[in-house]
């Protein structure tokens, strides 16, 4: 019987299933580097990523060219060469910020053909100048239909320009991606789905910051994968993108490497949804994962954090402070969800908040398990618990193997 199990083990791990492997494009493991963070670029473990995004360039309101703050310019100019030292295959993108406060500039720019042209040419020149392989437009929210028609036009023109520049320069075409709201619609305004699908390499959904202590006066999850109470959650967002006709195979799931701390109105009422009176610990309550872990270590006698698999989130309470965040269990569950839903990959915000690469290693490991690609040397490193978990997932993902299992069991009787 033991020999049979060994055989089974090898069959499950090494039998290639053509239909699964050959149609599977390599999965995107992306992460943002925020140039305002303390993290040193050479400390980024770029082997854990396929794509790294350097954030942010801004749009100059007087000429619609990209502008990079002089204080961080050095980081942009060394980014690509530095992260390629550890992983020569990593692809880098320049991220352009057009969040809420910058949106009037952005929407007035895309409303005028000559301004769009200035922006497009400047974005391509800037990306090439600093050695990036692509451009990310980050933070545009669904807006009124005239704005979205202009966005549709911008994306068409941008793609044409990027293709033409590649031809002219005989370099490979720059990637063009957008980081969008977790829903394709907001206040009855909707993104130009078709144009986004046609012109962009992928869309990254910002699947976090749903409930934050500066706005909500009750504790709640900021990045729940599911919510039985129908609060904002990632699964419902992904379903909306699908319903809107967007291909899930062009969608990349955002993973937050931060959480939020609320101040409870009554420390004895620390349930989810309990009354709260604003942020705790930091000005807006946001805390990077690394900071959360060190904060928790400084209160060793307080209640231990719990993982809630219903919502896919970690919680903990320290006196009057209620914190929710994604720990290893949550990021692994989210990556499994993204894989099993046919998404294109994940995108971390932001890599500098990881704690000694614990989260990134966990997701990369999870992907290897899900793709059945663990190198044989790694198998001895798996605990038996993880082994059975992996085995279950492999069987679950590959119905053909259930058949093999049945045959083997039948023959062993």
Ligand X SMILES: *[C@@H]1O[C@H](CO)[C@@H](O)[C@H](O)[C@H]1NC(C)=O
* Contact residues for ligand X, defined by CB under 6 A: 36, 58, 60, 62-63, 67, 69, 71-72, 111-112, 161, 164-165, 168, 217, 265, 271-272, 275, 308-311
251 in Cβ contact with 343 (< 8 Å): yes
361 SS3 class: helix
Nearest approach, Cβ of residue 79 and ligand X (Å): 14
The per-residue b/e assignment along 242-251, b for 16 or more CB within 10 angstroms, e otherwise, is eeeebeeebb
Q: Which is closer to ligand X, CB of 18 or CB of 100?
A: 100
Nearest-approach distance from CB 18 to ligand X, in angstroms: 38
Closer residue to ligand X in complex, CB, 123/372: 123
Tell the residue number behind the tokens 């854990």, with chain if given. 48
CB nearer to ligand X: pick between 43 and 266: 266
Rg of the chain, C-alpha, whole Å: 23
Nearest 5 degrees, angle CA 237-CA 240-CA 242?
A: 115
Nearer to ligand X, 72 or 156 (CB): 72
Q: How far is the CB of 70 from ligand X (least distance, A)?
A: 8
The three-class DSSP label of residue 281 is coil
Q: How far is the CB of 69 from ligand X (least distance, A)?
A: 4
Shortest Å distance, C-beta 122 to ligand X: 10
CB-nearer residue toward ligand X: 165 or 372: 165
Q: Which is nearer to ligand X, 24 or 217 (CB)?
A: 217
27 vs 34, which CB is nearer to ligand X? 34
In the complex, least distance from residue 68 CB atom to ligand X, rounded to whole angstroms: 8
**Alpha-helix runs per DSSP H in 130-274:** 145-169, 193-199, 234-243
Q: How far is the CB of 244 from ligand X (least distance, A)?
A: 25
Phi-psi region of 203 (alpha: psi -120 to 50; beta: other; left: phi over 0): beta
Alpha helices in 317-357 (DSSP H): 328-340
How far apart, in whole angstroms, are the C-alpha atoms of residue 68 and residue 125?
13
The dihedral formed by the CA atoms of 315, 318, 319 and 323, expressed in degrees to the nearest 10: -40
């Amino acid at each position: 019987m033991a020999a049979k199990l060994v055989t089974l083990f090898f069959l499950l791990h090494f039998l290639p299933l053509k239909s699964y492997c050959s149609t599977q494009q390599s999965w995107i493991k992306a992460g943002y580097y925020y140039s305002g963070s303390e993290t040193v670029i050479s400390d980024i473990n770029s082997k854990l990523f396929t794509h790294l995004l350097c954030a942010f360039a801004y749009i100059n309101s007087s000429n619609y060219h990209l502008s990079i703050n002089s204080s961080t310019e050095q980081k942009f100019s060394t980014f690509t060469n530095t992260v390629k030292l550890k992983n020569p295959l990593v692809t880098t993108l320049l991220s352009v910020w057009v969040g809420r406060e910058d949106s009037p500039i952005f929407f007035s720019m895309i409303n005028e053909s000559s301004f769009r042209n200035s922006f497009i040419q400047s974005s391509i020149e800037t990306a090439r100048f600093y050695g990036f392989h692509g451009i990310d437009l980050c933070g545009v929210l669904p807006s009124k239909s005239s704005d979205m028609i202009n966005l549709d036009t911008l994306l068409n023109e941008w793609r044409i320009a990027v293709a033409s520049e590649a031809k002219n320069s005989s370099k490979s075409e720059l990637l063009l991606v957008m980081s969008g709201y977790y829903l394709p619609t907001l206040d009855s305004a909707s993104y130009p789905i078709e144009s986004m699908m046609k012109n962009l390499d992928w869309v990254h959904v910002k699947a976090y910051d749903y409930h934050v202590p500066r706005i909500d006066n009750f504790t709640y999850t900021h990045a729940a994968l599911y919510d039985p109470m129908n609060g904002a959650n990632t699964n419902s967002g992904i379903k909306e993108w699908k319903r809107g006709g967007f291909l899930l195979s062009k969608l990349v799931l955002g993973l937050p490497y931060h959480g939020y701390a609320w101040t409870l109105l009554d420390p004895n009422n620390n349930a989810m949804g309990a009354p709260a009176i604003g942020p705790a610990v930091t000005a807006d309550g946001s805390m990077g994962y690394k900071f959360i872990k060190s904060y928790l270590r400084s209160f060793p006698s307080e209640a231990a954090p719990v993982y809630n698999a219903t919502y896919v989130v970690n919680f903990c309470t320290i006196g009057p402070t209620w914190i929710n965040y994604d720990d290893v269990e949550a990021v692994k569950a989210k990556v499994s969800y993204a894989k099993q839903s046919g998404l294109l990959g994940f995108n971390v915000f932001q890599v500098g908040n990881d704690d000694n690469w614990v989260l990134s290693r966990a997701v990369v490991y999870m992907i290897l398990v899900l793709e059945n690609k663990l190198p044989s040397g790694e198998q001895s490193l798996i605990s038996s618990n993880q082994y059975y978990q992996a085995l279950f997932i492999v069987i679950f993902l590959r119905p053909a193997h259930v058949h093999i299992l049945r045959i083997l069991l039948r023959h062993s009787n």
